[in-house]
Amino acid sequence: MYALGVILISLLVLVGLLRLKVKIGLAMVVTATVLAVFLGVTPGEMAGRLAAEWEDAVLTRTTPYLFVSLTALLLLVNVMGEAMSQIGLSARLVPAMQGLFRSRRVALAAIPLLMGMLPTPGGIMLSAPMVREAGDKIGVSRSRTAAINFLFRHQWEPVWPLFPAVPFIQSILGISALRLVSHHLALSVAGVIGGVVFLLLAGIPPRRQEHMEARAGLGSHAMDFVHVFWPIALTALLYIGLNVPPAIGIFLAIVGLLLLHRVEWRRWPGIFKAAKEPDMVLLLFGALWFKLNLEAGGAVGSVVNFFEVIHMPPMLVVFLLPMLVAASTGVTMGSVAITYPFLLPYVGHGAGADMGTETLAFAGLVVGLTISPIHLCLALSASYFEAPLTRIILKVLPAALCIAAAGFAMALLTR
């Protein structure tokens, strides 16, 4: 009970600081500090946790590596946005998307949905510059644009096998990938439908003259889209095909972009100055420190034990446990690794696995991630789109409830 209370207090501190207009990076660091104090995590224990992580985990999953690689990625995303703006590509994006998809709403959702196939931490920032530019051109509020980018970016997570949680769950349960994906598909469909209904059908300003479809042909629109999209596609291909870290991939894409468009060398330093974003660095540091404090303080395990002691109804345990852990950590893989071993008695194994119940568990996890202020993608969205975090959460909440409803429906209808 104490650990649960401490987690809630920490989240309230974060929300309170954000309402006081404290920058999100500094607010996250203060929140992680509060959590460390209440959990009694000493510097020695933190050092021990990092040392154990260094010994037991591969380099790419250690906290220092994540901090350096994510910081480089996020700062270079700013550089990419600045380069596209100065070259003039950003201004060509909206007409290209409208010409290809014949709909402003589809154009807004298609970019993050396509980018969501790249399973990299902080990958939401790859689509953020294009979505923000498109939203600003159309006249959509920044909070709604951030919500669209955030929600549609994550709809592949239940079913796309490149996300490590999917093969991990398959391995734990001893089932086929097809069986797992066929059940999880209901969550992705519910999320997309919820996003369309609550984010795209409302809040989009009436079409103005500048929003009318361009007279150029389909081939011209396609070329404009390729010019904007290829740096992101190159980053994705290098990551998936050659396992090149996204930060390196996007740096190569930026250099290629500047060379391809013959940007003068004297303009390069000004473009790369866009990487100067200290609050984003603090945000990453605070989010990773928060997660480390939870692990070092044993908070998640204590919460799991608390649910068992109070004899919570099985369906609520299956839904709420992953939701609470995901909301507290903001990490999909970690939440699966922590909660699924405790849920095996409810779900089962192999041919006898109750996939409806398992889908309910993953629905809880997705809902937790969708409304978690600790979720890195959500926090980064608030920072990049310069929109209140609570307003973004409120806008994605209806779609999250659609995902929850789909989870409960699968649990009840597939028994």
pLDDT digits (tens, 9 = 90+) for 218-266: 777 777 777 777 887 787 778 767 767 778 888 998 899 899 888 888 8
Tell me how long the chain is: 415
Q: Give pLDDT, residue 405.
A: 97
The C-alpha angle with vertex 150 and arms to 229 and 377, in degrees rounded to 5, equals 100
Number of domains in the chain: 1
Q: Identify the DSSP state of 207.
A: P
Q: What is the pLDDT of residue 228?
A: 74
pLDDT at position 207 is 66
Residues 304-347: pLDDT tens digits?
777 778 877 889 989 998 898 788 777 787 678 777 877 888 88
Q: What are phi and psi of 111, to 5 degrees?
A: -65, -55
Tokens of 70: 């994510």
Please give the model's pTM, rounded to 2 decimal places: 0.70
pLDDT above 80: residue 51: yes
* CB of 133 closer than 8 Å to CB of 170: no
Q: What is the pLDDT of residue 398?
A: 96
Amino acid at 130: M
- Give dist(CA 285, CA 281) in Å, integer: 6
Contact 356, 415 (CB under 8 A): yes
CA 141 to CA 205: how far, in whole Å? 9
Show contacts of 375-378: CB within 8 Å, 24+ apart. Answer: 375/330, 376/70, 376/121, 376/122, 376/283, 376/284, 376/287, 376/330, 377/122, 377/123, 377/124, 377/150, 377/153, 377/154, 378/150, 378/330
Cβ contacts of 69 within 8 Å, gap of 6 or more: 60, 245, 246, 247
Question: 192-204: per-residue pLDDT in tens?
Answer: 999 999 999 887 8
- Which amino acid is it at 4? L
Mean pLDDT score, 130-150:
88
Distances in Å between the alpha carbon of 119 and those of 160, 230, 298, 353?
9, 17, 28, 27
In this prediction, residue 177 has a pLDDT band, given cuts at 50, 70 and 90, of confident
Could you tell me the residue range of the domain that residue 217 belongs to?
A: 2-413
Percent of the chain with pLDDT over 90: 20
Q: What span, in angstroms and rounded, lies between the C-alpha atoms of 381 and 142?
A: 10
